[in-house]
Structure 1
């Protein structure tokens, strides 16, 4: 009986962490979706985000106890800084119009930057989970699933809202990313 409840508790803990880590992907999805995004781009970007949500915690779990104390705060700071940069760039490019190239979420480099920025915190979570020898396959699969699924939800929500916001969508998306970046740094 106790073994069953301990396993259930571990699964619930992993689920809660997967949803919490997926919230970054959701907020980024809303921000990008407000710029306007095609369904094909939603599938590509969400797939890469889901893949990063598998690879980053897997790398963290493999790194394990060696550097957990050092990287926990650094990963959060880097993620916050990246979101601040991305959000600031989106606001700036929306205010300047076509004179400034914004980071293209359809290009491979842009997708990698966005995916890395929302997945870096899952690396530090993976480090701490590696210390507790959590079930690796279950953990990374759930993290990947929720990261990808929540990015799809965010992109779809942002896409729908962008139709009614028009040209202000990119600026609003940038402000959302700036806010989340500040939350990471505070």
Structure 2
């Protein structure tokens, strides 16, 4: 897998965390630097860990799915991307009711925004990609995009949050097609 592909996946996966970070900033929960650190650190950490977990789960049965690996990778990316885009279209942004950077709320948001990365890790195992570099890049890009989203959220409000999910979903679907089409036509 090329660096460009990994960066595109990372950007797509970071959209959920960025949307939450933007909403938290728009609602005034990121005035304290510690809150910003908690959001950015947890989102980045979970986005790093989930692909690793998915990869370890997936490596156990790679030999069984090798003939259809491109379909699995496409299916996972299309499912995750489609769900992200659907969520972006189907809900309106509103202020969060409690500080999302504290306690169980932070853990639940971290898991919820990174569960897609678990599926990506599974797909990377099927494609026989070493997981450590992509996972680290996914975590770092998520941190960077969350910081940027907090900055934007403080300036522009929550209006952009759902649009980020839509863009992320479209990016992941496009990457799935980039994997599937060459495999179907023998160019892989």
Instruction: With the length of structure 1 as denominator, give the TM-score of the two structures.
Output: 0.66
CA separation of 1:148 and 1:177: change in aligned 2, threshold 3 A: same
Gapped runs of 5+ residues in structure 1? Answer: 1-8, 95-100, 162-168
CA separation of 1:11 and 1:80: change in aligned 2, threshold 3 A: closer
Q: How does 1:136-155 map to 2 (within 5 A)?
A: 136-155=131-150
Counterparts of 1:132 and 1:179 in 2: how far apart (Å)? Answer: 27
Do the aligned partners of 1:50 and 1:148 also contact (CA within 8 Å) in 2? yes
For the residue of structure 2 that corresponds to 1:135, the secondary structure is coil
RMSD (CA atoms): 3.5
1:62 counterpart (56, 62, 67): 56
1:157 equivalent in alignment to 2:152: yes
> 1:66-112, CA deviations, whole angstroms, 9 ceiling, x for partnerless residues?
4995x937766887898899x66x73xx5xxxxxx814213221111
1:113 is matched with: 108
Counterparts of 1:62 and 1:46 in 2: how far apart (Å)? Answer: 25
More helix by share: 1
Do the aligned partners of 2:13 and 2:138 also contact (CA within 8 Å) in 1? yes
For the residue of structure 1 that corresponds to 2:11, the secondary structure is helix
1:27 is matched with: 19
Q: How does 1:74-153 map to 2 (within 5 A)?
A: 91=94, 102-153=97-148
Counterparts of 2:2 and 2:141 in 1: how far apart (Å)? Answer: 17
1:47 equivalent in alignment to 2:34: no
2:178 is matched with: none
Gapped runs of 5+ residues in structure 2? Answer: 170-188
Instruction: With the length of structure 2 as denominator, give the TM-score of the two structures.
Output: 0.66
CA separation of 1:83 and 1:102: change in aligned 2, threshold 3 A: farther
Cα distance, 1:135 vs structure 2: 2.2
